A and B are shown apart, each in its own frame.
Chain A
Amino acid sequence: MIYFHIFLDFFIPGILGYGGGPASIPLIENEVVDRYEWMSVNEFSEVLAMGNALPGPIATKMAGYIGYAEGGILGAIVGVFATVAPSLILMISLLGLLMKFKDSPRVKRLTIVVRPVIAVLLGVMTYDFFFSSYEGVGLMQTILIGGISFILMEKLKVHPAYVIAGSLVYGALVLS
Chain B
Amino acid sequence: MKQRDLFLAFFRVGILGYGGGPSSIPLVHKEVVEKYKWMDSDEFGDVLALGNALPGPIATKMAGYIGYRVGGYLGMINALAATMIPAIILMILLLTGLNSYKDEPWVKGMAEAVVPVVAVMLAVLTWDFIKKSGKSKLGWVWTAVALIGSLVLLQFFNLHPAILIFVLLLGALLKKDPAPVENKQTGGEQQ
Contact = CB atoms under 8 A, between A and B. Distances in A.
B129 A54 contact: no
B122 to A, nearest CB: 4
Interface residues of B, number: 94
B126 A20 contact: no
Interface of B: 14-22, 24, 46, 49-61, 64-65, 68, 76, 80, 83-84, 86-88, 90-92, 94-95, 98, 104-126, 129-130, 132-133, 136-138, 143, 146-147, 150-151, 154-155, 160-162, 164-166, 168-169, 171-173, 175, 177, 183, 185-186, 189
Contacts of A27: 161-162
Contacts of B143: 115-116
B112 A136 contact: yes
A148 to B, nearest CB: 9
A17 B56 contact: yes
A8 to B, nearest CB: 11
* Interface size class of chain A, counting residues whose CB lies under 8 Å from the partner chain: 35 or more
A99 B171 CA distance: 21
Contacts of A141: 113, 116
A145 B21 contact: no
Main SS at interface, chain B: helix
Contacts of B118: 45, 48-49, 52, 129
Main SS at interface, chain A: helix
A119 B120 contact: no
Given A24-B56, A58-B21, A174-B109, A50 B126 contact: no
B129 A19 contact: yes
B75 to A, nearest CB: 12
Nearest to A98: B50
Contacts of A80: 84, 88
B90 A109 contact: no
B150 A160 contact: no
A124 interface: yes
Contact of B87 (A18, A19, A55, A150): A55
Contacts of A60: 57, 59-60, 83-84, 87-88
Contact of B24 (A14, A57, A61, A125): A57
Interface in A85-115: 86-88, 90-92, 95, 98-115
Contact of A57 (B46, B84, B154, B177): B84
B119 A146 contact: yes
A55 B18 contact: yes
A102 B88 contact: no
The 10 nearest A-B residue pairs measured at CB: A171-B113, A87-B56, A56-B87, A175-B109, A64-B88, A116-B146, A129-B119, A58-B20, A21-B21, A119-B129
A172 B101 CA distance: 12
B87 to A, nearest CB: 3
A106 B58 contact: no
A150 B111 contact: no
Contact of A61 (B56, B88, B98, B146): B88
A9 B50 CA distance: 25
